[in-house]
Amino acid sequence: MRFLFHAQAGESSLVLGGADSAALHIKALRLQAGSRVNLRNLADDNLYEYEIALLDRRKAVLNLLSSRREIVLGGGGALAWFVTDPKTIEKTLPFLNELGVGKLNLVWGERSQGNFRLDLTRFDRIVAASCEQCGRSRKMIVAEAKLADLTSASADLAVLDFGGEVLTSSNKTRIANKTIVIGAEGGFGARDLELLTPFPKFSLGGALILRSETAAIYAATLI
């Protein structure tokens, strides 16, 4: 683990409660008072080095020693993924974060099951844990979005959909800087496709049918 996440990393002194995830990691790593540990807040690209001044059952006190700017896999590009089962989303978030997606828009589409509830706070924790593992200096932003807003006149989208232009090594660059749209299980509904009509559509060609999460991971590799 290259660093621990704490939202207040950068302050001259941190007092971590016993249930704080960073404090739990410190104990799991069997660090002692006097040990040094790196923290990030995943918001400013800085790596902060702290010394553990006090460590007991109730808290850990850390004092800032130094900081340096160190960008690792800066987030770039965006996906618009139609909502599928939240459990599926949770399992896929680390992959998308590790591949460098800057923002994940979760869109309610015609074929998204309406009984799902999205826990964005939980999603954020999963992404932060992924950053601790892979070393990324800023976490992927996860937010809900409306398709009508994403398809505004100024939008720059590309849609992964059956029947679109087959992606090849020569035309992949055409979607590199666009927000890539991925449907839910079962693809896009008629109303969704109506809103997406103005935007270019691409496919893998052949007879392959990808699961929604596989398509999202593939799209992440394109951006």
Same domain, 51 and 104: no
Both 105 and 58 in one domain: the answer is: no
97 vs 220: CA distance, rounded Å:
9
Residue at a domain's end among 69, 95, 118: 69
**Structural domain total, the chain:** 2
The whole-number average pLDDT for the span 97-114 is: 90
Give the tens place of pLDDT for each residue, 39-48. 999 999 999 9
The CATH code of the domain that includes 92 is 3.40.1280.10
φ/ψ of residue 148, rounded to 5: -60, -35
Instruction: Kindly state whether residues 140 and 191 are assigned to the same domain.
Output: yes
Tens of pLDDT, residue by residue over 202-223, are: 887 766 778 999 999 999 988 7
> Model confidence over 20-79: pLDDT tens digits?
777 778 888 888 889 999 999 999 999 999 999 998 888 889 999 999 999 987 667 899
Indicate whether 178 and 115 sit together in one domain: yes
Region label for 65, one of left (φ > 0), alpha (ψ between -120 and 50) or beta (otherwise): alpha
**DSSP-derived secondary structure letter, 140:** P
Residue 160 has pLDDT above 70, yes or no: yes
Worst-scoring range by mean pLDDT, 37-41, 111-115, 192-196? 111-115
Between the CA of residue 222 and those of 41, 74, 99, 110, what are the distances in Å? 27, 15, 10, 25
Range of the domain at 141: 76-222
Confidence of residue 192 (pLDDT cuts 50, 70, 90): very high
The answer on 81 and 65 residing in a single domain is: no
Q: Are 201 and 91 found together in one domain?
A: yes
**Who contacts 49 (Cβ-Cβ below 8 Å, separation ≥6)?**
36, 37, 38, 39, 64, 65, 66, 67
94 and 53 co-located in one domain = no
Q: What is the pLDDT of residue 206?
A: 66
Q: What percent of the chain has pLDDT over 70?
A: 96
Do 175 and 197 fall into the same domain? yes
| Residue at a domain's end among 52, 69, 86 | 69
56 with 105, same domain: the answer is no
Query: Are residue 27 and residue 128 in the same domain, yes or no?
Result: no
